[in-house]
Copies of this chain bind each other. A is one copy, B any other.
Amino acid sequence: MSFNTFGKIFRFTTWGESHGPAIGCVVDGCPPNIALSEKDIQKDMDRRKPGLSKFTSQRKESDKVEILSGIFQGKTTGTPISIIIYNKDARSRDYETIKNKFRPGHADYTYLMKYRIRDYRGGGRQSARETASRVAAGAIAKAVLNKLIGKKFKILGAVVQLGLIGCNKNIWNEKEIRKNPFFCPDKKSVKLWEKYLLAIRKSGSSCGAVIELRASGIPAGLGAPIYSKLDADLTSALMSINAVKGVNIGAGMSVAFLSGEENSDEIRNIKKKIKFKSNKAGGILGGISSGQEIVASFAVKPTSSILSSRETIDKKGKNTKISCVGIRAVPIGEAMMSCVLLDHYLLNRAQCG
């Protein structure tokens, strides 16, 4: 049972509304003796932060992370790590005009149907602001994985499709991806995407995106055969991100179009080491990691707010439309994947030693 909790051994519970005093999370089950500081978390927070580029949310938030428990003399103690992030930009607005409206594509209507009450200020709990807490939890997961697995471990996401325009995914360079405002792996596409997105924005519209995540250094054997399958948990984690509507593992939906020969990742025993000749499976077979790179991707729908005239102008008259919510999903996806992988690492340690 877990309305607002994610994970099995490494678990986090998030809380907070878009326009409440603060948001935060409690991370439980974290292994002890892992070096961790607010700075380690802040680094990832800054990549998700609104207002980073003209293409993402213009909300002004420093997203400063404070750790309230679970760390002693710079190390985790194995007790819950409580993290708080104060909302700075939760300014008092006149919500009277929107409180009885249901924005299309938003959860306004479904929240009211479920709870018969809703905090309509900025979307309340349904706001993507909640994902800040996930990024904090993910940063902790990464620190733990770095300690447990070592430097072989690396997780890196990128936008690979922006609306109608794809990009070259052959080069997956961390430096490049984190440098451009689109988290795009292909520097040749950056200019094109910029033009494309400016045109979309100008027309008052928005576009969707596909994000791809890759994790390397993951040992074989993580996951479980039936209902704790690594791919099922990963998929659930990614589908829980706001605006995500589809998730692929490896070749994903496209396996429907492949023949058995095309889809098969042949196995070779080269110098007593198992080698796969391809990775259509995305590093997961029967719900268990194979030791190959874990590859997942997901689609984020275009911003729903475009039609809603009340959101087009903020108090200073600036256009605050978000043209593509997918961009910010990169660090969130990385965080969720990190949490799932750590969770399964710990689970495997429990059952299989």
Contact = CB atoms under 8 A, between A and B. Distances in A.
Interface of A: 1-6, 8-9, 11, 13-17, 20-24, 26, 28-33, 68-70, 72, 75-82, 84, 102, 104-107, 109-111, 113-119, 124-126, 130, 161, 163-164, 200, 205-210, 220-229, 231-233, 235-237, 239-240, 242, 245-267, 274, 280-282, 284-291, 299-307, 326, 346-353
B256 A252 contact: no
B351 A255 contact: no
Nearest to A251: B245
A224 B307 CA distance: 26
A161 to B, nearest CB: 5
A281 to B, nearest CB: 7
Interface of A is mostly: mixed
A259 B15 contact: no
Contact of A260 (B114, B253, B302): B302
Specify which of A235, A245, A251, A266 lies most central, judged by the most chain B CB atoms within 10 Å of its CB: A245
A87 B227 CA distance: 22
A207 B260 contact: yes
A264 B13 contact: no
19 contacts: A2-B227, A13-B28, A15-B82, A24-B68, A32-B117, A105-B281, A106-B286, A109-B285, A113-B221, A205-B260, A208-B257, A229-B240, A232-B236, A235-B235, A245-B281, A245-B282, A246-B247, A252-B253, A255-B301
A105 B299 CA distance: 25
Given A1-B8, A105-B260, A113-B221, 15 more contacts: A5-B13, A22-B69, A79-B225, A106-B285, A109-B220, A110-B221, A110-B288, A114-B221, A125-B226, A126-B286, A229-B240, A251-B301, A254-B299, A260-B307, A262-B302
A208 B258 contact: yes
A81 B302 CA distance: 31
B32 A5 contact: no
Contacts of A109: 220, 267, 274, 285, 290
A159 to B, nearest CB: 10
